[in-house]
Amino acid sequence: MGEGMDDRTVSSGNIVPIEPPVGPMLSLDPRRSVDRHAHRFNAMKDWIMVLKAADAAARWHVHQRRKGAAKEPYINHLLEVATLIAEATDGEDPNLVVAALLHDAIEDCEVPQELISETFGADVAGLVAEVTDDKTLEKAERKKRQVESAHKKSARAKMLKLADKTSNLRALVASPALDWSVSRRLEYIKWARGVAAGLRGTNALLENQFDEAARAAERSLVPTL
Ligand code: ZN
């Protein structure tokens, strides 16, 4: 570092690591350079955390594919749910985006909740746990409980579940499972609507996306005259 140079200066092609700001970070004022620095540092931390979660999800779900005939890699579903959440929250809730990427990790991959907590924090782990079904129960019972418990979830868990159901309904249109009859698909749409009824009142954008996906799923099965 040259003499008298600011410690954040980029020189000779080397990018100087951004160091955490000192002191409390409440009420940042973007006109102050130290606050700009803090803002940049926090934004960078969020980006890295989200990308690490995508990386972890890709590793954990590596052998899993969607049920549809296209057999899409499962990570596509996780990225779609995370994108829906990022859009619906204007990028203001990075932990919820991370939880979206990891929302099926406990249920499908038996990733211990503690591992998620150690790696991504207790808030993320708690959110993932909140949207995880109890796999010791029969499938029919699990589905029933999703309908019954939806309205009791936290606002953030409701958003996550709504985005998840939206992605699943879209997949039903784009690539239905080969062994799903029409009646099974209609039943799924009806059940998803039942769960979504308990998730309303939290995020209008996600609700609209869900409604549109449900209508498109119905339209894909019932020709309009
Ligand atoms: Zn899911």
Taking only the tens place, the pLDDT of each residue in 50-88 is: 999 999 999 999 999 988 888 899 999 999 999 999 999
Residue 18, pLDDT score = 52
Q: Which residues contact 101 (CB under 8 A, 6 or more apart)?
A: 50, 53, 54, 56, 57, 78, 79, 81, 82
Question: Ligand 1 centroid to 72 CA: how many Å?
Answer: 13
Nearest-angstrom CA–CA distance, 39 and 84: 24
Check if 90 is active-site. no
Report residue 223's pLDDT band, with 50, 70 and 90 as the boundaries. confident
Question: Mean pLDDT highest for which of 14-18, 42-46, 127-131?
Answer: 127-131
- 150-174 residue pLDDT tens: 999 999 999 999 999 999 999 999 9
Report residue 198's pLDDT band, with 50, 70 and 90 as the boundaries. very high
Tell me how far apart the terminal alpha carbons of the chain are, to the nearest angstrom: 73
- pLDDT over threshold 60, residue 182: yes
- pLDDT over threshold 70, residue 8: no
Question: Ligand 1 centroid to 46 CA: how many Å?
Answer: 22
Question: Ligand 1 centroid to 99 CA: how many Å?
Answer: 11
Question: Ligand 1 centroid to 132 CA: how many Å?
Answer: 10
Number of Cα atoms under 13 Å in the Cβ half of residue 40: 12
- Stronger pLDDT, 7 or 95, i.e. the higher one: 95
Question: Ligand 1 centroid to 85 CA: how many Å?
Answer: 13
Q: Read off the DSSP letter of residue 9.
A: -
Residue 67, pLDDT score = 86
- pLDDT over threshold 50, residue 29: yes
Q: Write down the mean pLDDT value for the chain.
A: 89
Residue 23, pLDDT score = 52
Report residue 17's pLDDT band, with 50, 70 and 90 as the boundaries. low
Question: Ligand 1 centroid to 77 CA: how many Å?
Answer: 7
Question: Ligand 1 centroid to 103 CA: how many Å?
Answer: 6
Nearest-angstrom CA–CA distance, 201 and 70: 34
Nearest-angstrom CA–CA distance, 172 and 177: 7
Q: Out of 35, 72, 87, 107, which one is annotated catalytic?
A: 107
Residue 69, pLDDT score = 81
Residue 32, pLDDT score = 80
Q: 14 pairs with which residues across the strands?
A: 11
Q: Out of 108, 123, 133, 211, which one is annotated catalytic?
A: 108
This prediction has a pTM of: 0.84
- 82-136 residue pLDDT tens: 999 999 999 999 999 999 999 999 999 999 999 999 999 999 999 999 999 998 9
Check if 108 is active-site. yes
Nearest to 57 by CA among 45, 75, 71: 75
Report residue 177's pLDDT band, with 50, 70 and 90 as the boundaries. confident
